[in-house]
Amino acid sequence: MNNKKIWVLVVVLLLVIGGLLFWVWYQNRELNEIVEQMEIEKEELQGEYEDLAIQFDGYQNMEIRNDSLQDLLSREQRRVQDLLEELRQTKASNARRIAELKKELATVRAVMKEYVRQVDSLNADNARLTQENQLVKQENVQVKKQNTQLTTENAALTETVTRASMLEITSCNLTTLNKNNHKTRMASNIRKLQFDFVIAKNITCTPGIKDLYARVTDPQGNLLGESEERLFAFENEKIPYTIRQEIEYSGEAYEGSCYCTLGEQENVQKGFYIVEFFCDGNLIGSFPFQIKK
């Protein structure tokens, strides 16, 4: 082989080697560009996963009154954290896995979107129910106020009716008598007290036989004729009386008299005496009297 052929062969080999080197350089440059692009895509995908994780954290802090939905959100939140951790450990050159993680992100977003819709719907229902409960509470308060007012009015009406049906002694006169039932004004001679009274007309009172009680107290406040056996009911208590007398009341005005006979040890003193009349468990009249001599 002459030198000319050798040089041609050398040139050809150099051209081939140069072409191969250029091809290798070109391929490496393209591969580097692809790797750089994959790095960028990985960083963007990682950022999207991190944003999604933050969104899940926000929904976890919300008050969700549905245990099942709360569990589903927690499960998806853990799934996002796991996928994010896997993405961080995946090399940028693993295009296949990065593409799969990108699809997983789309799936998780769709799931989260549905859960968010359910949460918003549930919160809207809760807000509506809360508002309805507030309205019901306000209505209940109003009803209670009305019931209280009606109860008060009924009680007042009942008291008015009760008072209207009570007997009332409108006048009472005292006559003092001696032992012979003759009138006397000398305190030392008085042995009997005669009370002439008038009961007013009252058509609302139930007619019939009634027990009329009288309590007579002396100037010192002592009850005349007091005895443990002479008691009547008044304001849930048993209290002593001086006089008890049956009357027949028809609803029309009634005039009557009752008597207090003094005991052997009871002497009339000068001063003011008080007689109180009771009937049907009510105080129906109270009158003061003065004995001067």
Mean pLDDT of 22-44: 64
CA 56/CA 4 separation, integer angstroms: 77
CA 252/CA 277 separation, integer angstroms: 18
Q: What CATH number should be reported for the domain holding residue 286?
A: 2.60.40.10
Cβ neighbours of residue 72 closer than 8 Å, sequence gap 6 or more:
115
User: Which residue segment(s) compose the domain that 12 sits in?
Assistant: 3-127
Where is mean pLDDT largest: 62-76, 119-133, 239-253, 258-272? 239-253
Domain end among 127, 154, 186? 127
In a domain? residue 242: yes
- Domain identity same for 117 and 191: no
pTM, entire model = 0.47
Give the pLDDT confidence of 49-95 residue by residue, as tens digits. Answer: 677 667 766 666 565 556 666 666 677 767 767 766 776 777 666 76
Predicted confidence at residue 269, as pLDDT, reads 84
CA 263/CA 192 separation, integer angstroms: 9
Cβ neighbours of residue 90 closer than 8 Å, sequence gap 6 or more:
42, 97, 98, 101
User: Measuring CA to CA, which residue among 210, 211, 214 is closest to residue 226?
Assistant: 214
- Domain identity same for 7 and 121: yes
Predicted confidence at residue 160, as pLDDT, reads 45
- Domain identity same for 175 and 78: no
Domain count, the chain: 2
Opening angle at CA 15, ends 14 and 20, nearest 5: 95
φ, ψ of residue 199 to 5 degrees: the values are -95, 130
Are the beta carbons of 83 and 107 closer than 8 angstroms? no
Question: Could you give the 3-state DSSP secondary structure of residue 270?
Answer: coil
Residue 33's pLDDT band (cuts 50, 70, 90): low
